[in-house]
C-alpha cells in the first residue's frame, strides 16, 4: 500500500472515531426527550430559547405550568389555531417527558435591543416606565419577575417583550382562557392598565436578569 495513502486512511479513521466519541459524549440525542421536541424548535428556538420578539421562551419553564398550558391549548381552553395541533401532538408523544426536557434547559433571556433612533421611544425610558407600572404585578410575579411555580405563576424575567405585551392584551380582553376563574384576578388587574402601557411593562420584564 502506498505509504501516503495509508497515512491518510489512518488519519481519516481517527477523525471519524473522534467525531463519533464527541457526539456520543455531548450530543442532545442522549436526552430521550430531544427527538420529541425538534418540531418545537422551529418556532421556540434551539432548546426552547426563542430569539424572536413574539415567540415565548420555554426553556427552563416549570413542568407543571408547561403541562397546564399544553392541556389548555389541546382542549381549546386557550384558543390558538396555531398551537392546538402541536399541543395534541405533544400529548401523544408524551407531555411529561417533553415538559421535563424543557425544564432542564438553561434559560437564555431575550436580547435587549437598545433604540438609538431619536424619532422612536428610548428603550431605557420604556424600561423605567415599566418598572413603575409593574407594582400591581409584583404581588404574583415577584420583585424580579421570577414567578411562583407552586401557584403555576410563570416567570416573566427575560421573556420576549412582544409576546408579553400580546398576552397582557389577551388577558385584558378575556380572550386568553376565557371564563377561567383562576385567572379572574389577573384579568381584573390587566383591565386597569391602559393598552399604551403594555409595551413599557413588557420592556421592563424583558430587561430583567
| pLDDT of 195 | 95
- pLDDT higher than 70, residue 189: yes
Task: Determine the average pLDDT of the residues in 175-201.
Answer: 93
Q: How many CB atoms lie within 10 A of CB 84?
A: 16
Domain ranges of the chain: 1-27, 31-103, 123-207
> What is the DSSP-derived secondary structure letter of residue 153?
B
Q: Minimum mean pLDDT among 82-91, 92-101, 118-127, 193-202: which range?
A: 118-127
Largest separation between any pair of C-alpha atoms in the chain: 83
For cell 390558538, the residue is 80
Any idea how long the chain is? Answer: 209
Contact 108, 48 (CB under 8 A): no
| pLDDT of 18 | 47
Backbone angles phi, psi at 41, to 5 degrees: -65, -20
In DSSP terms, which residues pair with 153 in a beta bridge? 148
Instruction: Answer yes or no: same fold for 31-103 and 123-207.
Output: yes
- Percent above pLDDT 90 for the chain: 71
In DSSP terms, which residues pair with 148 in a beta bridge? 153
Contact 115, 123 (CB under 8 A): yes
| pLDDT of 182 | 87
| Architecture of the CATH domain 123-207 | Orthogonal Bundle (1.10)
Grid cell, residue 162, equals 412582544
Contact 60, 103 (CB under 8 A): yes
Name, in order, each residue with C-beta under 8 angstroms of 52's C-beta and a sequence gap of 6 or more. Answer: 45, 160, 162
Q: Can you point out the beta strands (E) in the chain?
A: none
The 10s digit of each residue's pLDDT in 33-44 is 677 888 899 999
The CA distances from residue 1 to 9, 52, 118, in Å, are 11, 56, 71
CATH number given to 31-103: 1.10.760.10
Amino acid at each position: 500500500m502506498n505509504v501516503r495513502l495509508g497515512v491518510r486512511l489512518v488519519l481519516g479513521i481517527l477523525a471519524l472515531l473522534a467525531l463519533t466519541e464527541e457526539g456520543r459524549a455531548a450530543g442532545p440525542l442522549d436526552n430521550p426527550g430531544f427527538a420529541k421536541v425538534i418540531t418545537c424548535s422551529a418556532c421556540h428556538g434551539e432548546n426552547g430559547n426563542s430569539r424572536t420578539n413574539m415567540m415565548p421562551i420555554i426553556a427552563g419553564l416549570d413542568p407543571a405550568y408547561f403541562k397546564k398550558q399544553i392541556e389548555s391549548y389541546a382542549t381549546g381552553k386557550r384558543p390558538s389555531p396555531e398551537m392546538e395541533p402541536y399541543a395534541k401532538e405533544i400529548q401523544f408523544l408524551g407531555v411529561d417527558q417533553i415538559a421535563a426536557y424543557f425544564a432542564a434547559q438553561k434559560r437564555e433571556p431575550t436580547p435587549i435591543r437598545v433604540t438609538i433612533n431619536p424619532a422612536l421611544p428610548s428603550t431605557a425610558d420604556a424600561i423605567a416606565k415599566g418598572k413603575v407600572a409593574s407594582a400591581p404585578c409584583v404581588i404574583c410575579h415577584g420583585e424580579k419577575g421570577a414567578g411562583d411555580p407552586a401557584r403555576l405563576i410563570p416567570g416573566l424575567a427575560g421573556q420576549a417583550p412582544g409576546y408579553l405585551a400580546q398576552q397582557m392584551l389577551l388577558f385584558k380582553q378575556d380572550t386568553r382562557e376565557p371564563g377561567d376563574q383562576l385567572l379572574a384576578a389577573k384579568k381584573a388587574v390587566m383591565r386597569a392598565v391602559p393598552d399604551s402601557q403594555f409595551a413599557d411593562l413588557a420592556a421592563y420584564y424583558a430587561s430583567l436578569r
